[in-house]
């Protein structure tokens, strides 16, 4: 078969297509791709302040990472946060989306209220929750007559922060689920009602399968987000908090080494470890989707 030459109109459309995606492509390369390779390169060096005084150390940083108990503790903290935040935020958001997808009075107001935490600055969220969870004069303890050290008890501090994460991300997940629900044809539900299916059966046999691509996307993004948690831990906890070692995540540990201890090389190694873990989990999810995600 002879190669078909592109017409002038097709060339013009392709040119305009590249023009439209060029700003995003440049931003992706400059802000994402290049820093990844810089971080990997930096992980093979021992560095001073912001990369000054580099000394090539080969795999010494990686050997140290695998024998560093603080790194493994931070990794465990990260997993604890993700295990609580990801399933809860997805399940609650899915139920709320299903309820608010129905025709009901004031549903726009309810959607707006639930989405509000997403447009609130993380610093404001952290400060409000620090006050709510304060063990001495916090609203939650005083309102219910409790005496719980929400963010200073090493046994529960990470779970308290995870619940804050759930509250702050529910609105975003709900909007994604709502967009997916509105793409499901109503004919399926009408047919199910005629066949005598209850609302719960319709939810599990129609809604969940047809919404599975959206659920899969939310799972991917939330697991990545959960593994990268930093801002809530940084702003809710402080250096004097006795529970800090039981709550600091890998990203928090990277920040501590890179900016507090001025050891950017070792901090970069920690980030590379997190990158590898995230890639492995994402690949496993991509393979597992064939068994439960339905695109047709």
pLDDT tens per residue, range 52-105: 667 888 899 999 999 999 999 999 999 999 999 999 999 999 999 999 988 888
* 140 pLDDT tier (thresholds 50, 70, 90): very high
pTM surpassing 0.75?
yes
Number of Cα atoms under 13 Å in the Cβ half of residue 77: 28
Average of per-residue pLDDT across 12-21: 89
Burial class (CB in 10 A: 0-12, 13-18, 19+), 136: exposed
Domain extent listing, the chain: 21-292
**Alpha-carbon dihedral of residues 141, 147, 150, 152, nearest 10 degrees?**
130
Instruction: Give the pLDDT band (50/70/90) at residue 48.
Output: low
As a whole-number percent, the residues of the chain with pLDDT over 70 amount to: 96
Mean pLDDT in residue range 215-223: 95
Q: What is the mean pLDDT of the chain?
A: 89
Fold of 21-292: MetI-like fold (1.10.3720)
The answer to whether residue 49 scores a pLDDT higher than 60 is: no
pLDDT of residue 2: 44
Q: State pLDDT tens for residues 236-263.
A: 988 888 898 899 999 999 999 988 888 8
Buried b (16+ CB within 10 A) or exposed e, 158-169: bbbbbbbbbbbb
pLDDT of residue 105: 85
Q: How far apart are CA 202 and CA 192, in angstroms?
A: 7
- pLDDT at position 3 over 60: no
């Amino acid at each position: 078969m002879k190669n078909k030459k592109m017409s002038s109109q097709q060339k013009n459309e392709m040119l305009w297509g590249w023009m439209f995606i060029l700003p995003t492509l440049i931003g992706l390369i400059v802000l994402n791709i290049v820093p990844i390779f810089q971080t990997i390169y930096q992980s093979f060096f021992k560095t001073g302040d912001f990369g000054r005084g580099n000394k090539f150390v080969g795999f010494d940083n990686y050997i140290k990472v695998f024998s560093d108990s603080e790194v493994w503790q931070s990794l465990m903290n990260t997993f604890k946060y993700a295990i609580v935040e990801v399933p809860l935020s997805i399940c609650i958001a899915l139920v709320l989306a299903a309820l608010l997808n129905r025709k009901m009075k004031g549903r726009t107001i309810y959607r707006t209220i639930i989405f509000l935490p997403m447009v609130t600055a993380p610093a404001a969220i952290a400060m409000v929750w620090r006050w709510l969870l304060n063990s001495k004069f916090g609203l939650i303890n005083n309102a219910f007559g409790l005496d719980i050290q929400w963010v200073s008890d090493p046994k529960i501090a990470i779970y308290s922060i995870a619940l804050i994460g759930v509250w702050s991300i529910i609105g975003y997940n709900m909007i994604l689920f709502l967009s997916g629900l509105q793409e499901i044809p109503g004919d399926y539900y009408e047919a199910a009602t005629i066949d005598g299916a209850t609302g719960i059966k319709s939810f599990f046999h129609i809604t969940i399968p047809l919404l599975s691509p959206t659920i899969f996307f939310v799972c991917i993004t939330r697991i990545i987000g959960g593994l990268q948690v930093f801002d809530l831990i940084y702003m809710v906890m402080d250096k004097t908090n006795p529970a800090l070692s039981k709550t600091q995540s890998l990203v928090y540990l990277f920040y501590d080494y890179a900016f507090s201890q001025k050891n950017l090389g070792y901090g970069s190694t920690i980030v590379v470890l997190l990158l590898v873990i995230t890639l492995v989990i994402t690949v496993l999810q991509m393979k597992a989707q064939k068994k439960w995600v339905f695109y047709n």
